[in-house]
Amino acid sequence: MIISGFKPDDQIFSDLTSIRAFLPVGHLSFDNYTAVFDRVPFGTFIMNSVIISVCTVVLGVIVNSMAAFALARLTFRGKTVILSIIIATLIVPFETLALPLLWWVNKLPWLDANGFSFGWLDTYQVQILPFVANAFSIYLFYQFFDSIPKELDEAATVDGAGWFHIYRKIVMPLSGPAIATVSILTFLPAWNSYLWPLMVVQSENLRPAMVGIDYFKQLNVSWGQLMAYASMITIPVLALFIAFQRAFINSIASSGVKG
């Protein structure tokens, strides 16, 4: 993909049948990369994806960790059933929920400049809020929280700490690997979201990066520009994984031992 972004379309196809497709040989230039900025508002698309992904990650970490904390540390009747129901929702594909979700978000009220209005379509919140709560993230936090000794809770309770204080000051500071893992696994689908924004967003200034790929498929497909565009929108994902790689691996390793 990266190498093809430096080649003209005719050379991309001529190199497909040989190892040259993976090598930086032939006529190489930055024409495709510069053409991307002329063809689409690349900066707007990237900024929208960053806003949507970061907000989804931050809210997701808060909401899912609090739900997992209640299931892992608090004692109340029926929490095993609740956890089972949450995990069971993982078998439901998003395509099954897309149309009902589209109907509901179009009926929800929102406070705008003119007062209350109905319908979340063509907004940032419709791309963020439906994906904050996540069953898999809750389960990952639950597994990690359950491995933290409960004696810490008892010691904090003796000192007069409440549950929220225990969550904020004790459990969360010890959960760096889990936070890193959930951040990565939340960021990826948020960044790669294509179907949902295509359904709910009409304004170009609100579209995320993945929807921008469609601009290169209109009329004659510009494969070199498409490869260049795909290479550039992959960089933030690689940067995030590299930044959290150590914590991500530690979390997976500890979860494996726990299981």
Beta strands in 163-228 (DSSP E): none
Residue 9: which residues within 8 A CB-CB, separation 6 or more?
222, 223, 224
Write b or e for each residue in 218-253: b if 16 or more Cβ atoms lie within 10 A of its Cβ, otherwise e. Answer: eeeebbbbbbbbbbbbeebeeebeeebeebbeebee
CA distance 134 to 144: 16
User: Binning pLDDT at 50, 70 and 90, where does residue 109 land?
Assistant: confident
pLDDT tens digits, residue range 37-82?
Answer: 988 999 999 999 999 999 999 999 999 999 999 999 888 888 889 9
Per the listing, tokens 């929920």 go with: 97
**The tokens of 140 are what?**
């990952």
pLDDT tens digits, residue range 170-222?
Answer: 899 988 888 988 988 899 999 999 999 999 998 999 999 999 988 888 767 88
User: Binning pLDDT at 50, 70 and 90, where does residue 256 land?
Assistant: very low
Domains parsed from the chain with CATH numbers? 1-21+29-39 (no CATH), 40-225+237-258 (1.10.3720.10)
CB 247 within 8 A of CB 182: no
CA distance 171 to 189: 26
Average pLDDT score over residue span 137-160: 89
CA distance 141 to 185: 12
CA distance 257 to 141: 15
CB 158 within 8 A of CB 110: no
pLDDT of res. 259: 43
pLDDT of res. 113: 63
Beta strands in 36-169 (DSSP E): 109-112, 115-118
Average pLDDT score over residue span 164-168: 91
